[in-house]
Amino acid sequence: MCYRKCKIIPLIAVIAAMLSGCAGEGSVSESESPGVTAAVTTSTPSPESVSETTTTAATETTTTTTPPVTTLVTTSEPPENDTYEMINNCILAYEGTPQVRAIEPYYFNSETGEHLISCVDSYAESVGEDTNVWLMMIPSSQEFYTPEKIAGEYPSQLKCTQKVYEKLEKAEGVFVNDLLEEHKAEYLYSRSDYHWLPLAAFYSAKIFAEQADVPFAEFDTYEAVEREDYLGAFYVINNITALEEFPDTFTYYKPANLDKCKCTMFNSWFSVGDESQLIHEDHSLGNSYQMFIGTDDCIFMTETDTDNDRVLVIFKDSFGNALLPFLTSSFSEIYVCDYRYFNINSVDFAKMVGATDVLFALGSASTTDENKVGLIEQNMYN
């Protein structure tokens, strides 16, 4: 898989458009959802076929012009075409417009929510009071971009998140919904893939850094790289072909201290490690979201040039990968562990690496899936 062009642009707010998601199960216990609007995407290139399994390296061109000073835009215009249909268990909205997107329906089960609270609080109690434990429930695009005529049919992720955070006793919630709502007219979520885009991860990482009281590099210190004609999992896996008329632009951000980060990829037993890199820029266009860390079934460690003795462990699903580049200025060491592929005791691991902070960064599909929530508890007894 290859794509038409990839250009590097210095820290401009890569803005305007709408985003994506898909597949989740559970009973609904909240019925209200916020209104949804979005900005119009401009000048979209024609699509090319994309496969999530291709390995063709990307070609990049670098611009040498001085970047204009820009600010992140937060205007929102409702789409002219408010149509939708269900395709392969996903919502296809705004078909035939530059705002076309697939959306993963969100469901919330209050019993699963109570289990999530219990698991995270139990972990915090087990790891000890000297380690800060945080829970970031990452909203999906359904929260912000569902057509208004059906928005009320789904629970509000904002309200469900608030209910969970209010009941946490040992851990602390990292509430990102309001800031993402404020910036939802920007390019926060892919329209053709389940995931958020790196810009949304930047805003969320900033909130976390502020709560954790650690330094944070502002947006204009990053180098932005655009990959055009991106078509993600909704197109490749769910076969929603209507997305190909207006493919995504996938933009990722390289931290200023990228070359100073020493990265090691360990197996999921933390027994074998090899030198690695934080951003795998040779990943094919179809695998763009996997550029961060490179894979999920590993324990990834990076030593940064931040000298504050703060050590962060992130237990995450795939949504958490995109946070890593934005936290290299905040912690001296960061360990990223996908809790779905973790084969050692999670409490012992945090103590062994000297974690001062543990962040559970989980997408909405993980926080509403009883089996996935149960993995948090299971990993404590590996």
Domain boundaries, the chain: 6-379
Average pLDDT over residues 326-345: 97
pTM of whole model > 0.85? no
For the stretch 134-193, pLDDT in tens is 999 999 999 999 998 999 999 999 999 999 999 999 999 999 999 999 999 899 999 999
The beta-carbon contacts of 365-368 under 8 Å, at least 24 apart in sequence, are 365/21, 365/23, 365/24, 365/104, 365/140, 365/194, 365/317, 366/317, 366/319, 367/112, 367/113, 367/116, 367/137, 367/164, 368/24, 368/25, 368/26, 368/106, 368/107, 368/108, 368/109, 368/112, 368/113
Q: Are 113 and 60 in contact (CB under 8 A)?
A: no
Residues contacting 86, CB < 8 A, separation 6+? 92
Residue for token pair 């309200």: 159
Highest mean predicted confidence (pLDDT) among 6-20, 50-64, 363-377? 363-377
Tokens standing for 380?
Answer: 């404590």
3-state DSSP assignment of residue 53: coil
d(CA 202, CA 321): 12
For the stretch 287-317, pLDDT in tens is 999 999 988 889 999 999 999 999 999 999 9
For the stretch 251-270, pLDDT in tens is 999 999 999 999 999 999 99
d(CA 159, CA 65): 45
Q: Are 44 and 126 in contact (CB under 8 A)?
A: no
Residues contacting 117, CB < 8 A, separation 6+? 164, 167, 168
d(CA 165, CA 71): 31
Please list the residues that pair with 191 across neighbouring strands.
none
231 φ/ψ angles, rounded to the nearest 5 degrees: -130, 120
- Strands 311-316, 357-363: pairing is parallel
